[in-house]
Amino acid sequence: MSATRTGKLPKGLLIPSLIALLGVSLFGLGGAQASAAEAATDFPIPALSETSKTSPMPNVIVIATGGTIAGQVADGDPTNLQNYRAGTYKMEDMVAQLPRKDKIADVSTYQFGNKGSGGYLITELYDLSLAVDQALKTYDGVVVTTGTDTMEDIAYFLDLTVRSEKPVVVTGAMRPWDAIGTDAPANLYNAIKLAASGKTKSFGTVLMLNDVIQTARDVTKSNSHRMDTFESPILGALGYIDQDNISLYRANERALKAGRPEWGTPFDLTAISKDDLPLVEIAYAYQEADGGAIKGFVADGAKGIVTAGTGAGGISAKMGAARTEAIKQGVVFVTTTRTGSGTMYPGSTEGIIAGDSLNAQHARMLLLLSLAFSKDLPTIEQWFEEYGRQDISQEDIGVVSKLTDIEGHWANSSIKKGISRGIVSGYSDYSYKPDQNLTRAEFVVMLMKALKPAGTLAELSFADADQIGKWAELPVAQAVGAGIVNGYSDGTFDPSGPISRAEMTLMIAKAMKYELAKDAQPGFADDAAIPAWAKGAAKAVKDAGIMKGRSGGSFAPASYVSRAEAITAIVKLPVK
């Protein structure tokens, strides 16, 4: 068993731009990333016909991978509900048999593969995700058909990696296409109907079987034979389909970020190659479980291991000892529970990440992708917190509309943008306090939320490091690691001290990697008052349109920065 997946991949977009932004190899991809950016993958997705282009019906494509839904009963006996050959029928022929499909969508098909879901390699899922995104450039929605055995694994992989917000619906069947009482045609028809409706746009990837709509993150297969096998423990389904009625009764956290930069994840597959996909395994806990599985996984080259523990994630003493040794070798662990539901919360042990309410197979997919994009443990922890947890915040549900002190303020628009992007938030009394001075720590937190860096964290060695609040430690460490923040000559950071306009300007210029001219003349009325160390930055941010002078055309370098001024500058930064 090898430690990496094999293959090559296409041009880079999001991640390379972030690397250029911060001037460091944030994800440790090196040459592999460069080769991935140069390669190009083009799948034979059928082009829209001229009729489809002018038709008022939505254009939906079914990308087929096989599974029971495309299965053929054994011996031609339609009562063989469990004895059949999965992945036999072609999707083109299956769709042709669906009645009245012209009433819901113009439907095309693409046969990506035709085998059981458990037969697909991670590298093939990589290609599947890219194929889905390619299709969504022209189609209004995609249906992906798979086998149900590992459907939740495949769906969550797509949920984490597909870049488009257009509907992606995964479906399959518990009985083969030609069996008596099969659920296959109805599931396929309703999945097409759901994708065509657009109702799950921005929800990420969803599952639709047995008329029930579930999120890819929450869903799991709960029974080996029943047609209502898929459930979302504790959290419940999104909704269901009753003939022409599609009813959604809850929204996930991603849907609340629709149309915003933070809707996407860091896992843009066009930025890596298949060689970057690491080996990640799952170790199951039970009474007096030995540590042999963990040792074997490490010996095989596993870079990450998810433990499915008892109760609240507990594992045996032997498994614990093996885990400790593996962590010393750089293996990253995620703890989950084998109970089927329940939340794992962060602990204090280095090298172990809490899996929140993800089950083991979902946590494995998130860890695998995280390790493909970063080798930095705090970064991966942050990604599990932000993209794995999917906890709804006040910003997600529109707290911006409740703020009492921003209407009529000159920075009203910028403040709203900052809150909608998750960069800033209001206080518990529904105020923003736009004219309140900002501290150095507060500004760094704002800046890092906007940049979303993932570089190596620096050790906080400031003389007053113990005065940096827990809420600011990670952003400050990120900023120091990226060369954005330095301490004063006395070795302090002064986290609670107010930040001056000159200091803020320099931090922004460093973050943007602007060239700082030594003999710069910024062009403000008070150029002479701007310290030499800040003149290059002042000119750079002025030229970029990020900051302007105050009244009278002065820069006021020593003046303190207000919360309104800070967010106004930050929302102008050219970052996605």
Please list the active-site residues. 68
What's the Cα-to-Cα distance from 372 to each of 61, 164, 367, 380, 400, rounded to whole Å? 29, 20, 8, 10, 35
**DSSP 8-class letter at 67:** S
562 annotated as ligand-binding: no
Give the tokens for residue 297: 């996984």
148 annotated as ligand-binding: yes
Supply angle C-alpha 560, 568, 575, rounded to 5. 120
519 annotated as ligand-binding: no
Contact yes or no for 376/389 (Cβ under 8 A): no
157/122 Cα distance (integer angstroms)? 9
Query: Strand, helix or coil at 437?
Result: strand
| Residue written as token pair 């460069």 | 34
30: left (phi over 0), alpha (psi -120 to 50) or beta: left
288/285 Cα distance (integer angstroms)? 8
295/299 Cα distance (integer angstroms)? 6
Contact yes or no for 117/70 (Cβ under 8 A): no
Give the tokens for residue 355: 């899996």
Q: φ and ψ at 387, to 5 degrees?
A: -105, -25
Contact yes or no for 341/234 (Cβ under 8 A): yes
| Residues tagged in the binding site annotation | 117, 148-149
| Residues tagged in the binding site annotation for substrate | 117, 148-149
